[in-house]
Amino acid sequence: MISKAVEDAINEQIKKEFYSAYLYLSMSAHFEEHNLGGFAHWMRVQVKEEQAHGLKFIDYLHERGGTVKLQAIDQPPAEWQSALELFNQVLEHEQFVTASIHKLYELALEENDYATQVMLQWFITEQVEEEKNATQIIENLKLIDAHGTAVLMLDHQLSKRGG
């Protein structure tokens, strides 16, 4: 059986994961509205990943005999001045999620909840990848801005993301 403290923290993390999906869906819509279908596609794949993360936490609570308590999701922003500004927000958001997962792991340590610690290892590894992906795109966008290269080339590259 899972402790009340860990159950509550996981329910809060579920909200954060689905907010992430909602945020990235808003970003996808923004790119579609600016005729950047590759960027929009990349964000749609990200939406699916974040939804899967939320479902993974839900399934875990069920496996441990916990109760899922879905919470209201805040409205995400809808406008950005540039792709660089948007991806900087992606990185900041992923760093926020990483910190949240680390706090959840620390709670599992305090509660001697070994099963939750093991489950969270997957998320810790996933967050390293999430931050790396955002950072790589930011660095590419900076190169594009610095050298005046067409953002359409990166848009085409992003459209190739599987998912």
152: domain CATH number? 1.20.1260.10
Q: Report the greatest alpha carbon distance in the chain.
A: 57
- The number of folded domains in the chain is 1
Q: Which amino acid is at 74?
A: D
Asked, for residue 55, whether it belongs to a domain, the answer is: yes
Asked, for residue 103, whether it belongs to a domain, the answer is: yes
Asked, for residue 8, whether it belongs to a domain, the answer is: yes
CB atoms within 10 A of CB 16: 20
- Confidence label for 150 from pLDDT (cuts 50, 70 and 90): low
pLDDT surpasses 90 at 162: no
Rounded to the nearest 5 degrees, what angle is found at the Cα of 71, between the Cα atoms of 65 and 73? 140
Asked, for residue 11, whether it belongs to a domain, the answer is: yes
Asked, for residue 163, whether it belongs to a domain, the answer is: no
Position with higher pLDDT, 159 vs 14? 14
Tell me which residue range forms the domain holding 58: 4-158
> How many whole angstroms separate alpha carbon 147 and alpha carbon 149?
5
Asked, for residue 16, whether it belongs to a domain, the answer is: yes
Q: What is the pLDDT of residue 1?
A: 86
Q: What is the pLDDT of residue 152?
A: 65
Give the model confidence (pLDDT) of 110-147 as tens digits: 999 999 999 999 999 999 999 999 999 999 899 887 76
Q: What is the pLDDT of residue 69?
A: 98
Give the model confidence (pLDDT) of 2-60 as tens digits: 999 999 999 999 999 999 999 999 999 999 999 999 999 999 999 999 999 999 999 99
Query: Dihedral of CA 73/79/84/88: which sign?
Result: negative
